[in-house]
Structure 1
Amino acid sequence: MMFALGVLSLLTHQGISAYSKFSDELYVGAVARELAQTLRGARNQAALRHQAVLVRPLEEDWGKGWRVVLEQDGERLQEHRLHRPLKIATTSYRVVRFSARGAPLGVGFVGTTLDICPRTTLDSRHQVVLSPSGRVSLRSDEGRRCAPD
């Protein structure tokens, strides 16, 4: 009887840790999809309104969430706060700007990649890529790593 309880507790522990890892991976994937959709939406809003639109991180940290605002008057169009903080590393700009035509703005803009990682590890399986033309794509690449803090 004690042996069965010991085996049961061991299996329960293994199951809980596997579920936790699976849940974290699902969350990171969902955040990557939401960020990609936000960038696409901001680009569309810029073109529809004929106004520049900004996507900026909350509290200067993409891992806490982001906000979409009109550049001219600062009107908030959307805000997304993350329920659990993540590490989101970007290759270049802290703020993403779209022109009134929906094109990304920035001096010599060559595109940017946002790597989405759990806070507990530096492994990045999801990237949101903004090309110089303004196309937003979502990629999964197991070989990528986030930069350490």
Structure 2
Amino acid sequence: MMCALTIGSLLTHLGITAYARLGETLQLAAAARELAQALRAARNQAALQQLALTVHPLQGDWGKGWRVSQEHDGQVLREHRLAKPVKVVASSAREVRFSKRGAPIGEGFVGITLDICQRSGPGSQHQVVLSPSGRVSLRSDEGRRCAGD
């Protein structure tokens, strides 16, 4: 009887750990998709409405959310707060700016990679990449290490 109880508790512990890991993986994937979609939408809106737009992290942290605003007057067009903050490491820019034609602008803009990082380890399974041409792509690479780790 004691052996069955020990085995049962061990299996329960393994199941809870796997479930928590799955929950974190799904949360990171959702955050990456939402960020990529926000950058695409801002680029499209800039081009369609001939507005220079800025996408910047909330409180200086992409992992908390982001805000899209008009560059000339700072009017907030859209704000997205993540339900549960994640760790996001940016390769360079603190903000992303789009010209009236929808092209990314900035001094020597060479693109930006936003790594959506695991809390429980040094890895990054998802990257949101904005190329110098303005193309936004979502990549998955389980072997990639988060910058700064």
TM-score interval, normalised by the smaller of the two chains: over 0.9
Q: Which residue of 2 aligns with 1:140?
A: 140
Deviation per residue, 1:60-108 (Å, 9 max, x gap):
0111111111111222121111122211111110000000100000111
TM-score by length of 1: 0.95
Structure-to-structure mapping, 1:1-149, within 5 angstroms = 1-148=1-148
Query: Whole-Å Cα distance in 2 between the matches of residues 120 and 10 of structure 1?
Result: 21
Q: Which SS does the other structure have where 2:92 is aligned?
A: coil
Task: Check conservation: 1:122, 1:148, Cα contact below 8 A.
Answer: no
Q: Which SS does the other structure have where 2:72 is aligned?
A: coil
Shift of 1:119: 2.6
Identity %: 65
Deviation per residue, 1:14-44 (Å, 9 max, x gap):
0000010011011101100110000000001
Query: Whole-Å Cα distance in 2 between the matches of residues 90 and 101 of structure 1?
Result: 24
Shift of 1:147: 2.6
- Specify every segment of 5 or more residues in structure 2 that has no aligned partner in the other structure, as ranges: none
Task: Check conservation: 1:89, 1:114, Cα contact below 8 A.
Answer: yes
Q: Which SS does the other structure have where 2:132 is aligned?
A: coil
TM-score by length of 2: 0.95
Query: Whole-Å Cα distance in 2 between the matches of residues 7 and 119 of structure 1?
Result: 29
Letter in 2 for 1:104: P
Question: Over the residues paired in the alignment, what is the CA RMSD in angstroms?
Answer: 1.2
Query: Whole-Å Cα distance in 1 between the matches of residues 25 and 139 of structure 2?
Result: 14
Query: Whole-Å Cα distance in 1 between the matches of residues 15 and 106 of structure 2?
Result: 48
Query: Whole-Å Cα distance in 2 between the matches of residues 90 and 14 of structure 1?
Result: 34
